């Protein structure tokens, strides 16, 4: 009876060491918020998730936070804080009603070096906690979102090597005390090449 706690401790330690990489990063991790899981599934559907280099397990019992979907970082409350999917073969047209701005705790979004087309969804301007956005090396078009430059915590934007057009909103430079906006474009001439605010 005295050895039971030690044996139990050893067993738990062994199970922890052999736990799969998809296990939650800490005990007590809450599942992903249902609406945010829905937004991720929409992203997977519209960005040809079945052909990604590293796919998600989108089965009914799989959870982005508890099962650590590739590129998804969550806080302990089940809110998504980062979507990091560079060089993962995302392709397709970004729908304008995609609710990327509805992730209540989203701080970083990296969709760079993929084959994403279309405009940045206007809802992205509602991501009030966003600090870093990188959509470089895609095929995105249209004007840059003016509202992004006014987000209070924004530190870094990279729009380089896309097909954006129009003027760079003043808010991207004028309202930043620190940080950087990179707008180099290898496919379009006469486009502002770089705007920094440091």
**How many other C-beta atoms can be found within 10 angstroms of the C-beta atom of residue 67?**
20
Q: What is the pLDDT of residue 181?
A: 66
For 98-119, how does the pLDDT look when each residue is reduced to its tens digit (9 = 90+)? 788 899 999 999 999 999 999 9
Q: What is the pLDDT of residue 3?
A: 45
C-alpha distance from residue 45 to each of 51, 103, 121, 164 (Å):
10, 18, 16, 24
Query: For 118, phi and psi rounded to 5 degrees?
Result: 90, -170
β-pair partners for 83: 72, 109
| pLDDT for residue 174 is more than 90 | no
Sheet holding 139-142, edge to edge: 91-93, 115-118, 139-142, 163-164
Angstrom distance (rounded) from CA 196 to CA 185: 15
For 49-82, how does the pLDDT look when each residue is reduced to its tens digit (9 = 90+)? 999 999 999 999 999 999 999 999 999 999 999 9
């Amino acid at each position: 009876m005295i050895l039971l706690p030690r044996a139990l401790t050893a067993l738990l330690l062994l199970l922890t060491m052999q736990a799969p990489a998809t296990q939650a990063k800490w005990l007590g991790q809450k599942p992903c918020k249902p609406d945010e899981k829905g937004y991720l599934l929409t992203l997977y559907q519209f960005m040809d998730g079945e052909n990604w280099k590293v796919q998600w397990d989108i089965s009914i019992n799989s959870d982005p936070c508890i099962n650590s979907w590739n590129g998804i970082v969550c806080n302990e409350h089940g809110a998504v804080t980062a979507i990091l999917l560079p060089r993962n073969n995302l392709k397709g047209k970004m729908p304008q009603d995609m609710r990327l701005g509805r992730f209540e705790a989203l701080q970083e979004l990296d969709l760079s070096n993929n084959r994403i087309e279309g405009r940045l969804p206007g809802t992205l301007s509602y991501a009030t906690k966003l600090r870093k956005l990188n959509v470089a090396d895609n095929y995105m078009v249209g004007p840059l979102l003016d509202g992004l430059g006014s987000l209070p915590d924004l530190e870094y934007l990279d729009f380089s090597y896309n097909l954006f057009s129009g003027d760079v909103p003043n808010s991207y430079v004028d309202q930043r005390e620190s940080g950087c906006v990179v707008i180099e474009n290898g496919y379009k001439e006469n486009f502002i090449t770089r705007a920094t605010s440091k």
